[in-house]
Amino acid sequence: MSDAKKTPLHKWHNENGGKMVNYAGWDMPVQYQKGLVSEHEFTRKKASLFDVSHMGEFRFVGSEALKALYFLSPSNVEKLEEGESCYSFFPNEQGGVVDDLLIYCFKKQKDYLICVNASNAEKIGEHIKKHSTDFDVQIVNECEMWGQVAIQGPEAIKMTTELISGVDKLERFHFGSFDYKDSSVIVARTGYTGEDGFEIFVSPDQTEELWKDLLAKGAEPCGLAARDTLRLEAALNLYGNELSEDCNPFERRMAWTVDFKKLNFMAKDRLVELKEKASRKLVGLKVLERAIPRAGYEVLDGDEVVGLVTSGTMSPSLSEPIAMVWIDKKSAESDKKLKVQIRKKQVEAQITPLPFLKNV
């Protein structure tokens, strides 16, 4: 994978048992020697570290930085105060999802950072450039300026506070600049596992040092495989599975991010239409047999195909197969029995509330 991009932790992963795979053009650890289940359970019980340095970052700076974001995002970003962040997405002209992302307010009106998926960083850069020309804003691609480490789990706050004083005072979806040894890092109380914890933006040349310091506090490394099972138990969308350029966001648990009270934003009229046309929804499904529902498998109500699996796995926490499925609203009633076509067999399944784990 010589042509794959490498994070500042690439050497550490290779030297410490990381099984590397190509993910969105990056050479990333899918798991370590203890395996997926061990990593997943350690996150739920204690705290794990995730290398998320492959994520993309773009800075919006200038007198109309907020105006540009106000147009690009359907969320009420104008309400963000300094030190606050929110989850949102950027729609395309048809109302589909270019990417889902986090928006951080550094200085109200004038200075914001967005964090985007690694697979969409180049596309987002082009999208921003195309649709921000009418605003007095400087867009800075900061993708190579940051390493990023996430620590998630019940003990994540304690471990991080022992290393970076004061971070325990942060509320959820708040962030700030904190002293770390002889430099500073940006710490945000966000994450992608359903657990409490932080995402820490650090300079690339200090990323490995931070990683090792957090390991010394008792955290353990976690790869992409467990990251996926953790986020699925928490019913968090994954771009490329639940979200895409041609999806209807109102059928994909994204309605809460759209504020139609805003005067004008990208594809507003189209999003109004999509909301009215939404005929399917994203719901949880538990498979009642020992068979794993994979993305793309058909879901049936009687003999009728009513939808598709968007994500599925064997839940390490529940010890049963689970899936998020995109199905017709008429078939999405609570506790309704359905079937999933798994290879040549139709397997019994049941609608279940999301998230799958009630304590996350």
| pLDDT tens-digit map of 189-234 | 999 999 999 999 999 999 999 999 999 999 999 999 999 999 999 9
Model pLDDT, residue 358:
83
47 and 151 both lie in a single domain: yes
Does any domain span residue 288? yes
Does any domain span residue 37? yes
Q: Which residue has the tokens 């180049």?
A: 122
Model pLDDT, residue 18:
98
257 and 224 both lie in a single domain: no
Does any domain span residue 127? no
Compute the distance between CA of residue 195 and CA of residue 135 in angstroms, rounded to an integer.
Answer: 38
**Helix axis angle, 156-163 relative to 207-216, nearest 10°?**
120
Please count the other Cβ atoms lying within 10 Å of the Cβ belonging to residue 81.
Answer: 8
Compute the distance between CA of residue 360 and CA of residue 351 in angstroms, rounded to an integer.
Answer: 19
Q: What is the largest CA-CA distance in the chain?
A: 65
326 contact partners, CB below 8 Å, separation of at least 6: 242, 251, 252, 280, 281, 282, 307, 308, 310
With residues binned 3-state (H G I as helix, E B as strand, rest as coil), the percentages for the chain, rounded to 5, are 25, 35, 40
- Taking 50 as the pLDDT cut, the residues of the chain under it are 1
| pLDDT tens-digit map of 20-57 | 999 999 999 999 999 999 999 999 999 999 999 999 99
Does any domain span residue 255? yes
Identify any residues that bridge with 349 across adjacent strands, giving them in sequence order.
287, 338
The CATH number of residue 321's host domain is: 2.40.30.110
Domain span at residue 316 reads 249-352
- Say how many domains are in the chain: 2
The CATH number of residue 169's host domain is: 3.30.1360.120
Does any domain span residue 136? no
**pTM more than 0.95:** yes
